[in-house]
Amino acid sequence: MSAYGVVNTSKDSIWIEKYRPKTLDNLVGNEDQINKLKDMLETNIIFNLLICGPPGVGKTSAAKCFARQLLGEYYAEGVLELNAASERGIETVREKIKIFSQEKIILPKRKYKIVIMDEVEAMTTTAQQSLRRIYEIYADTTRYFMICNSSEKIIEPLQSRSIILRFSKIKNDAILNRLKKICDAQNYNYSEDALALLVDSCEGDCRKAIGYVQMAASLYDKLEIENVYNICDILPLPLIKELFLHIQEGQFKQANTATGKILDEGYSNQEILASLLKIIETDDMSNSMKMIYHGMITESIIANETGISDLQFE
């Protein structure tokens, strides 16, 4: 059994599932929100939850870990998991959620059945309104955990009947540490710089990072910088550094030529501009110069978004 509570050792298994945390202690990042869940378990005062945040930050894993720790051996019969993106209508509420809420399941005292609804922002307004009534009717036996990227599309009556936990992007260091443990468990070799670059490209999405590492392991004997460019489809650093050097030195003709070469490789204007911003943020230039370049790149981003197809520096 691994540190994540996983027994499966098949090299062909999906690593995202193989290394999915089994307890709240195994989760990465969002410590404040995880501590709130731990407090609920300790006090045994369980609320309906609305867990919001960007993809790959542990929202679904947190809900499942909480339910598993609350219900223990009763997890299989005491939890209903749904993906509202594919089960978004009122029929799901009536035929699945309501029926599950009505079922008589013998649980230990002060334990509740749990409905975990993923991607709940896809649920229709009518379905959400119907769910509101179910919250009230079955409050003595069932708790409802809604998971979404943004709470904007969740009707206010459901929000007001839930504790809202807002998850944020996971810090690179935390993802990097988790990937190192996974690579070691899989006996997969990697370059430290390559793994760091891979993590940086995922922008706080731990699930994406694990998926990329497994893809690398299926293609390469060792993770190297060049592999990361291919797998993550990110702009090679030497190309973007060359472009930025021309911009710094006022060589705009050369900068536009370099931009053309990058575009010919299949990268978009937005990818070039986003990569330039990252270069600026990590460069050791003065803050005042960073602000100047940042403003220039931001103007280019806005111009590109308003319909300009050709990226030009001048």
Residues 246 and 158 in one domain: no
Q: What is the pLDDT of residue 53?
A: 94
Residues 144 and 41 in one domain: yes
- The answer to whether residue 119 sits within a structural domain is yes
Q: What is the pLDDT of residue 306?
A: 57
pTM listed for this prediction: 0.77
Residues 148 and 261 in one domain: no
Look up the domain containing 282 and give its range: 237-305
Residues 6+ apart with CB under 8 A from 288: none
- The answer to whether residue 159 sits within a structural domain is yes
- Angle, helix 269-282 to helix 252-264, in steps of 10 degrees: 120
In the chain, how many domains are there? 2
Query: With 90 as the cut, is the pLDDT of residue 40 above it?
Result: yes
Residues 252 and 135 in one domain: no
In angstroms, the CA 251 to CA 244 distance is 10
For residue range 251-302, list pLDDT tens digits in order: 878 888 888 877 877 777 777 777 777 777 777 778 787 787 777 777 766 6
To which H or E segment does residue 224 belong? Answer: none
- The answer to whether residue 205 sits within a structural domain is no
Q: What is the pLDDT of residue 1?
A: 40
Residues 160 and 241 in one domain: no
Residues 43 and 133 in one domain: yes
Q: What is the pLDDT of residue 311?
A: 60
Residues 141 and 37 in one domain: yes
